Chains A and B, each alone.
Chain A
Amino acid sequence: MRERLLRKERIKDLCMAARRDWEIYLPLEHVGGDVQFVRLEADEEIESLKRLRLDYDSLVIPPKTVAFPQHECLFRFHRNEITETVAAPNRKLLFGVRACDLKGIRFLDDFFRRGFDDPYYRARSANMLVVVTVCTRPQPYCFCTSAGTGPSLPAPRAIGQRSNTGFDLQMTDIGEAYLVETGSAQGQHFVDHYGAFDGQVPPEALERAHRAKQEAAEAVHLRVGFDRAVQRFCEGKVPQRVYERMAERCIYCGGCVYVCPTCSCFGVFDEKNEDSGMRCRVWDACMFEGYTRQAGGHNPRFAKWARTARRYEHKLKYDYLETGSSSCVGCGRCLASCPVNIGMSQVIQEVASL
């Protein structure tokens, strides 16, 4: 594999050149200092790019929104005539994704396309190129090193078709430039196609990138017994009281679910005005009492603790048993957003120490 350099002052040029071929999504600073992963709007690129923050702390909302938006129209209708509204499969460049969030994207890619291939997700994700930036600012709630998802990803031995967990490109901050590693044929094509990348990489740049990755990993202070907890969940050795204790505190707001990079559940509802309307899907949360309540009144998951059990067992047991990999990416968003201080890392630690 041949690395490249991308000098920081050339990133704007790269975006301006790439925007002709791609819908670009990237981390922009918004009101109050929050960084959001949003689409680069046409006509405002120059202004927007001033707010580009590749060294952000974390994104409140994960980049799963690009292929699985919170709210999405499935079809429109007028009387009995239906018009399908699947998005055009445009080429999308996701620039500046964290390694943990890449795991989330690849997990959803697999989930939405296995069995019934979801046409809406397929259209939005089919032509996506993901550029990872190695995380240099792990937050106190991050535990990617325990989950095995970050803060940097190993480069593939050979560049072929991308594996379903890998990146297309990975960038490591080495000061005045990023060292760019190639993870797929699509990524290779991208760096060959745009002139912003420098092929002359001095050996000290490689050394600095290597050190930066090591320092990033060392900066992740929160360590949890991830594998041990997954094993305990899979063996069914988590006692009900663990869930009941959480249920005493949890307010069932659904916040942890909405900010989770691998949560995929949705509700469907119709809107109608006179003769016309649309059917939409919108993120839903298994923490809600109404999530499983049937019209006749029966609710198989009425008890709060049973809903808590569902959420943690889904992530740490069933997804592991089904796919060979837990769907917790270690991003810590659930803890960061929780009003009552419950997070996956705490649950993992508690179960691991049983």
Chain B
Amino acid sequence: MNNEYIPCPARVASVRKETPDTSTFAVVFQDEARAASFKHAPGQFVQVSVLGVGEVPISIASPPFHREYLELTIRAAGKVTRALHRLGPGDRMHIRGPYGTPFSFEQARGKNLYFIAGGIGLAPLRSLIHLALHRRGEVGAIRIFYGARTPDDICFNQDLKRWHDAPDTQVRVSVDKPDEHWQGHVGVVTSLWQTHELEPSDGVTYVCGPAVMLRYVVEKLIRTGFRTDDIYLVLERYMKCGIGKCGHCNIGARFVCTDGPVFSRSRLGGLPAREWLL
């Protein structure tokens, strides 16, 4: 009988340092049949274990068409993520999933796509950005607005440069606190665009970042004229099971792990604002 609580061993193939406290782990399932059967969609997450330490939910940062490995971008923030950061190539972690309701690529078809991310919040959006660029002809313009605390906290530097050079794709990056070398924009992520620059009527927006950022970004997007159906957010919550049982990620009657983590703003509308805005 299939037991969703049992994770599968996976080998760390490589580790790429993104920032002083964040790294991207490329991992490969030890069992080839598991590797072949594993299929995810952008926005989904996996439960990642270090046996004896614990388990945490981590967004999948790589796109579904990358079959050779799975990329997990992890910030060393707690007990388990610090243990994960001690792993290097060849070491084992354990993974189960994928879980959660993903982004709908169908919804993006033919639309201009606006991605707004803060810090490590770019990780789940990166999977969709890669997919959109992979199927470039099927979507309109791509605009990426990315904010980080300092220049050192910018994740996916290589990707940002590559995306900037892609056809009809624009990347704007801002930092809250510049260093002496920073020549780019300074300010919160919402200062990266003027409301008249975006076209709400045929655009879809994807937002992920810290809770306080979500609040201001959503406010500005609504002011810009986006319908609440066209504003997608990826929420982050403490979770234990990932499959709608442990209760930790509950918001109202919904589970972030199964009903989300991707929610449209309109779907969040019926849930208590104090629980997702704060």
Contacts and interface: CB of A to CB of B under 8 A. Distances in A.
B240 to A, nearest CB: 4
A8 interface: no
- Which interface class (under 10, 10 to 19, 20 to 34, 35 or more) fits A? 35 or more
Interface residues of B, number: 46
Given A265-B247, A268-B246, A286-B247, A300 B6 contact: no
Interface in B4-19: 4-7, 9
B223 to A, nearest CB: 24
A349 B211 CA distance: 36
B52 A277 contact: yes
B3 interface: yes
Interface stretch (A16-24, A33-41, A80-88, A172-180): A80-88
B230 interface: no
For the complex, would chain A's binding face be called helix, strand, loop or mixed by DSSP majority?
mixed
A270 interface: yes
Contacts of B248: 265, 267, 284, 291-292
Contacts, number: 123
A264 B2 CA distance: 22
A112 B52 contact: no
Nearest to A305: B274
B276 interface: yes
Nearest to B79: A295
Contacts of B278: 300, 302
A279 B274 CA distance: 33
Nearest to A277: B52
A218 to B, nearest CB: 36
Contact of A298 (B5, B92, B211, B258): B211
A75 interface: yes
B245 interface: yes
Contact of A294 (B238, B240, B251): B238
Contacts of B55: 268, 270, 279
A322 to B, nearest CB: 5
A223 interface: no
Given A270-B53, A272-B52, A300-B237, A119 B5 contact: yes
A75 B5 contact: yes
B3 A306 contact: no
Contact of A292 (B7, B210, B237, B244): B237
Contact of B258 (A115, A277, A294, A306): A115
A270 B56 CA distance: 12
Contact of A300 (B51, B53, B78, B211): B211
Contacts of A268: 54-55, 240-241, 246
B236 interface: yes
B68 interface: no
Given A80-B9, A298-B211, A119 B3 contact: yes
Interface in A276-296: 277, 279, 281, 284, 286, 291-296
Interface of B: 1-7, 9, 49, 51-56, 75, 77-81, 92, 94, 210-211, 236-238, 240-241, 243-248, 250-253, 258, 272, 274-276, 278
15 contacts: A86-B1, A86-B3, A112-B245, A115-B244, A115-B258, A265-B247, A268-B55, A270-B53, A277-B51, A286-B247, A291-B238, A295-B80, A296-B78, A309-B272, A309-B274
Interface of A: 74-75, 77, 80, 82, 84, 86, 111-112, 115-116, 118-120, 264-272, 277, 279, 281, 284, 286, 291-296, 298, 300-303, 306, 309-310, 313-314, 317-319, 321-322
